[in-house]
Amino acid sequence: MLHHIPNVLSKEQVQYFREEMNKIEWVNGKVTAGTLSATVKQNQQLPEDHSLTHHLSNIILESLGQHALFLSAAIPLDIIPPLFNRYENNESFGFHVDNSIRRIRGSSERLRTDLSCTVFLSEPDEYVGGELVVEDTYGYHEVKLPAGDMILYPSTSLHEVTPISSGCRIASFFWVQSMIRDDAERHMLFNLDQSIQNLRMQLGDQHAEVMKLTNLYHNLMRKWAEL
């Protein structure tokens, strides 16, 4: 299931990110690609170990920790710190699947990649091409969101970034290990949680039906969660 998560970053934060990124040299994006992915990957990245990468990454992580829709959709156990890429001059990233296990930079800790995330840092009218295309059971989905918004999708999906024919596409990308490994179970919990939130606004927190559904939500979490 794809989820559009709006306003992960404000327009002011996006502008700050862009200004700071212009001050340093980008590197070849193949440095973080797997063996197969490297054959179809043509883009640039901020150096993974640069202090700016760590700084901007922490801003995104802080925002996500307070973003109710993201927390409801991802049910995160842990997040691999965000990285940053840039596409221009006909660069692209052909169809590929993300590595199932990734290491957290600067540590020996490894996470299972359940969800892939892209935060757009360029407005859609700043570039031509560069759509994120995600393939799932229902076909192909083209994604091109406003700067500051994020797309969240299962890491099991084949996906690509189409060639840039003009302009420049800048984004942040990273992965989430969810407490709920199964995408279908995670989506059911998301729908249940959203229904509970709507009922709370209509009926109040102490209404009997709200309490019953909240109890069901937490009991399903107990059944399915992996910690």
Residue list for the binding site for 2-oxoglutarate? 169
CB contact burial 86-105 (16+ within 10 A = b; e otherwise): bbeeebbbeebbbbeebeee
Amino acid at 129: G
What residues contact 163, with CB distance under 8 A and at least 6 apart?
Answer: 90, 91, 92, 129, 130
- Token duo for residue 217: 């939500």
Q: Are the beta carbons of 2 and 116 closer than 8 angstroms?
A: no
Return d(Cα 174, Cα 118) in angstroms, integer.
7
| Annotation: binding site for Fe cation | 96, 98, 159
| Annotation: binding site | 96, 98, 159, 169
208-224 vs 183-203: helix axis angle to the nearest 10? 160
Q: Is the CA virtual torsion 4, 223, 157, 98 positive or negative? A: positive
In terms of Cα–Cα distance, which of 168, 179, 131 is closest to 151?
131
Q: Are the beta carbons of 148 and 119 closer than 8 angstroms?
A: yes
